[in-house]
Structures are given as C-alpha cells and as structure tokens.
Amino acid sequence: MGALHPILLFLALTGLTATISAHNITDILSGFPEYSVCNSYLSQTKVADDINSRQTITVLVLNNAAMSALAGKHPLSVIKKALSLLVLLDYYDPPKLHQISKGTTLTTTLYQTTGNAPGNLGFVNITDLQGGKVGFGSAAPGSKLDSSYTKSVKQIPYNVSVLEISSPIIAPGMLTAPAPSASDVNITAALEKAGCKTFASLITTNGVKKTFESAIEKGLTIFAPNDEAFKAPGVPDLSKLSNAEIVALLLYHARAGYTPLGTLKTTKDPLTTLATNGAGKYELTVTTAGDEVTLHTGVDSSRIADTVLDSTPLAIFTVGNVLLPTELFGKSPSPAPTPEPATATSPSPAPALAPTPKGEAPSPSTASPPAPPTETPGGSPSEAPSHDSQNSTTDNGAGHVKGSALVAVLVTVSATIISSFVLS
C-alpha cells in the first residue's frame, strides 16, 4: 500500500498544477456585474486571450463607471492599448503591494510585449503611498500617479491576481494620437517593410490584395512568409502552378477575423483560412511552446517569427516558411497496379498442371503457355483449367497421395495381425 503513496502524490500535484495554471479571466469577472463593461472589452480586443495564455499575471480592472473614460470614446485599437497597460506580467496581491522594495517599482505590462510601446511606455509605476494607499501611473518621466488601488477582487496564488483600481493608466500620447482606421492600412507597404516583398508582390499581381482589403473591416489575420522562405529547398515552383492554385496558396496564408498572438496561443481547434471552401478544408493547426507559436499544415510547419501589425481588427505576422496546404501539395497514396488484360500470347500466371493418370501424383507441366484444349469423354474440346481449377487439381492430387499412403499402412497392419494369428 505504501508503494502507491508516491504515485498518488504525483497525481495529486499534477492535478493541482493543472487547476492552478488554468484560468479564464472572462469567467472570473462574469461573477462580478460591476465589471461587465471591462470584461466585454477584454473579450472584444482579445486581451482576454493573452491573459489566459499566461501563467503568472495581475489584471487591474475598472468598474463600469471608471470604464466610461474609455468605452465608446475611442476605437478598439486604442482601448486595447489602454487595457494592455493594465495587465502586469507579475503576481501582485494586496500584501505584496505594501511590501515593495524601497516603496516603488516599475513593472512590465502586456503593452510592452506588443512592440508598439516606444521607450518605457509599456511599464507601470507602482508606489506604496503613505496611509496605506498604493498609486499607479505610467513609467514615462514626469507622469503622475493618477490611479490608485481600490480593492482585491480575486486571487489564485500565485498565478492570477485581479485588483480593482480607480481609473485607467494612460501613457503619454496613448489617447491623443490619431488612430488610423483599418481601411487606411497599406498592407503591401507593411509587408515590404517587414521583409516580405515577394509575398507582397504575389498578392498584388494575383488580385489577392483586394480580397485582403475587403476583409479588413470585419477582421483579418495574415501569415506572411519572408523573402528567404521562398528560396528554401522544397518550395514548389510557382510557375508550374495554375492561377487558381496560386490564388488558393496565397489565400491559405490569411484568415478571416482578428486573431492576435494571445488568441493563437489559446486556440485548440483547427483554423480555417480564406482558402477554405467546399472543395477543401485548407486548415491550419496551432501548437504552443512557451511564447513560441507554430502553424502546421499537414505538409510542413512554420514558427511565427514577428508581429508586423497588431491593431484591431488587423493582425499581420511573419512566418519562416511558405505554408503548403495538403489540398495542393499533400502526397496521396499510390493506386494499386491494375492487372494487364490477358492476351493469346501472354504467359499463364501460374504453371499449368498436366492431366494426372489414375493412381499417380500430379507433376507440373514445363510449358508456360496455357495448355491446349483436350478431348473430353464426350468428344468435345474443353478449355484448359483456370488458375482456380489448377489449385483445386493440386489439392485433389495431394489428397489422393495421402489417401494412398493411408491404405498402404492399413494393409501392412492387417497383414501383421493375420500373420500373428496364423502363427499362434
């Protein structure tokens, strides 16, 4: 019984780890109606997916009244920046807030990981103030501590902490900078700047660029191979593909809907693409290892290298390989070879057996062509035996030999018994 203890302990710890690391910020906040507006925007901007993909996180939430400073007054791309600045990449519960070394610290936020935060605008200043208060503000020089800790909402030690603060933390220029609409984004210019000139040229010359542009307003995600990817061994010769195949290949590198990196990390089901239609699935599957996200086609796979643009509702990523769909480049099983039709001059598939005289074992014929017709007792010619009839003949012959041997044994035994009786 004692031998089971380590196993039970391992299973218990494994289950506990799985329970602790699995969290869903949307589900957590759904039990608090006072954060319904904040919760809704976390989902709309996909910030919730990024929160759920991380193991250690602190989420600073705003109640519905405080969210009025953002909700409905700015485009989603701006609200996403503001909410990303409220996600701290470390665990802070109320006791830790009051135990900050030297009373103040700068902590990294989700906004910093996007690559869109210039300087130190992706950091937040946390300061333990006198009287038990804790202030929050942008880490930009000269910024004020415009927000303060209000109360604890939820803690799952030491993975997720949800704390309420009094107001948004606004980095300089975050709300005042003009935000271009999605339709104003120049896709080819962004791709060329990111080192994807070949892909940019292909989507332009094959008319796919217009398809991308018409899909942006409802959400679009692009996985663009860099220029080196088209020079790699194994990449098909595009000049040998039909125009329809090239278009399908290019559409396979994009999907409808805004799918940022955090959403990809939490994706379990296959992703449809713009190439998906009734004739083929054209899907991608996703695997994650830490912060590394890899796309799989069934033929090859590619790691997402960089984020070119992440601005709701458009996301553009670079990938290291050309994504090859199985519908175009998958190897189908080779069909079984069909037998050649029999002709008068073709050899017989198996050696024919000569007619077996009564009482003798059959001997294989040395002639490979089919045996000529033989006369039947009725005088009419009959066809040479087929392959099946040959097998039947062989089996009958073998049975005849076995039968003869058995008779010989019985005769010998009988003679021995008779001799013994006579002698006695």
In a domain, 420, yes or no: no
Alpha-carbon gap, residue 195 to 192, rounded angstroms: 5
In a domain, 252, yes or no: yes
What single-letter amino acid sits at 408?
Answer: A
Residues 186 and 147 occupy one common structural domain: no
Indicate which CATH number applies to the domain containing 246: 2.30.180.10
Domain that residue 137 falls in:
18-165
Residues 100 and 152 occupy one common structural domain: yes
What single-letter amino acid sits at 132?
Answer: G
Q: Is the pLDDT at 380 greater than 80, yes or no?
A: no
- List pLDDT tens digits, range 258-288: 999 999 999 999 999 999 997 789 999 999 9
Partners of 256 in the β-ladder: 220
In a domain, 236, yes or no: yes
Nearest CA to 87 out of 119, 54, 115 is that of 54
Residues 299 and 242 occupy one common structural domain: yes
Alpha-carbon gap, residue 69 to 422, rounded angstroms: 127
Alpha-carbon gap, residue 36 to 29, rounded angstroms: 7
Which residue's entry shows tokens 């989603």?
76
Question: What's the total number of domains in the chain?
Answer: 2
In this structure, are residues 253 and 222 in contact, taking their beta carbons and an 8 Å threshold? yes
Residues 191 and 309 occupy one common structural domain: yes
Using the 8-state DSSP alphabet, how is residue 329 labeled? H
Share of the chain above pLDDT 90, in %: 59
Among candidate residues 112, 133, 165, the one where a domain is terminated: 165
Alpha-carbon gap, residue 147 to 167, rounded angstroms: 5
Rg of the Cα trace of the chain?
39
What mean pLDDT is predicted for residues 110-115? 86
Q: Is the pLDDT at 173 greater than 80, yes or no?
A: yes
Q: How many CA atoms lie within 13 A of 112 on its CB side?
A: 17
In a domain, 33, yes or no: yes
Phi/psi for 190 (5° steps) reads -65, -40
State the pLDDT confidence band at 394, using cuts at 50, 70 and 90: very low
The pTM for the full model equals: 0.67
